[in-house]
Amino acid sequence: GIQVEQSPPDLILQEGANSTLRCNFSDSVNNLQWFHQNPWGQLINLFYIPSGTKQNGRLSATTVATERYSLLYISSSQTTDSGVYFCAVGASNFGNEKLTFGTGTRLTIIP
Amino acid sequence: EADIYQTPRYLVIGTGKKITLECSQTMGHDKMYWYQQDPGMELHLIHYSYGVNSTEKGDLSSESTVSRIRTEHFPLTLESARPSHTSQYLCASSERTKAFFGQGTRLTVV
């Protein structure tokens, strides 16, 4: 199956700082999504981004499918951004909705 | 945004009991999934369904079973709970693009 690696595993930042989270994957994918898991365990879908660039407020994401990586940018961090960020990918041999998750990046924003 | 619900949120139960975790969605999605997640770890797919009367096992072997009798409902059952089943169970649904997750059930077997 597809291998998904995320870096860094842990990130501690001061409020207001910017951050870049990386997701590398081992094979061609048709589906790539970024999720934020809040401290209560709820997974929130941030982006569906199998290729290209998208922005939503302070968050943006870029996927370079040919080079098999995706980046999630968080600008002007707030304490509510704390939690674990997961990258998940899917490939067309399943119809691309069966997602394989990375190990996540745990982000802690200090006031 | 997402209309997918899991009950119960928390469950503490004794070894050997039969349990059913409920998952319902009102978005009309054909595809539904169960993931298992240990604290601080990644999610592992344990069951999925393409639609009514369609169920398949996921990448992580699980002693649980699922059924899909109605589009909106995808319950997970453990016939005899054991301490090794202690984990968080997350249900999701999707169409072609985004997946939406319920709030999860934290199961503790004592």
CB-nearest to B104 from A41, A88, A96 is A41
Residue B39 CA to residue B12 CA, distance in Å, equals 16
- Give the structural domain span for B68: 4-109
A98–B33 CB contact, under 8 Å? yes
**Taking an 8 Å Cβ-Cβ cutoff, which residues of chain A contact chain B?**
1, 31, 33, 35, 40-45, 48, 84, 86, 88, 96-104, 106
| pLDDT value for A91 | 81
Residue A44 one-letter amino acid: I
B103–A42 CB contact, under 8 Å? yes
| Residues of B whose CB is below 8 A from A97 | 31, 94-96, 99
Residue A9 CA to residue A75 CA, distance in Å, equals 19
pLDDT interval class at A1 (50, 70, 90): confident
- Nearest Cα of chain B lies from the Cα of A1 at a distance, in angstroms, of 9
B99–A42 CB contact, under 8 Å? no
> What does the block give as tokens for B85?
């089943």
CB-nearest to B42 from A1, A33, A104 is A104
Q: Which of A43, A51, A63, A92 to mutate to test the interface with B (most CBs of B within 10 A)?
A: A43
| pLDDT value for B59 | 85
In the predicted model, what is the mean pLDDT of residues A13-37?
Answer: 96
Number of structural domains, chain B?
1
CB A28 within 8 A of CB A79: no
**Tens-place pLDDT, residues A59-104:** 999 999 999 999 999 999 999 999 999 999 998 655 556 889 999 9
What are the boundaries of each domain within chain A?
A: 4-110
Cβ atoms within 10 Å, residue B69: 9
pLDDT in tens, chain B (110 residues): 569 999 999 999 999 999 999 999 999 999 999 999 998 899 999 999 999 999 999 888 889 999 999 999 999 999 999 999 999 999 999 987 889 999 999 999 99
How many A-B residue pairs are in contact by the CB < 8 A criterion?
A: 55
CATH code for position B64: 2.60.40.10
Say which CATH class A4-110 falls into. mainly beta
**Tens-place pLDDT, residues B78-88:** 999 999 999 99
Spell out the residues 6+ positions from residue B92 whose beta carbon is closer than 8 angstroms to its own.
Answer: A43, B4, B32, B33, B34, B35, B99, B100, B101, B102
| pLDDT value for B60 | 87
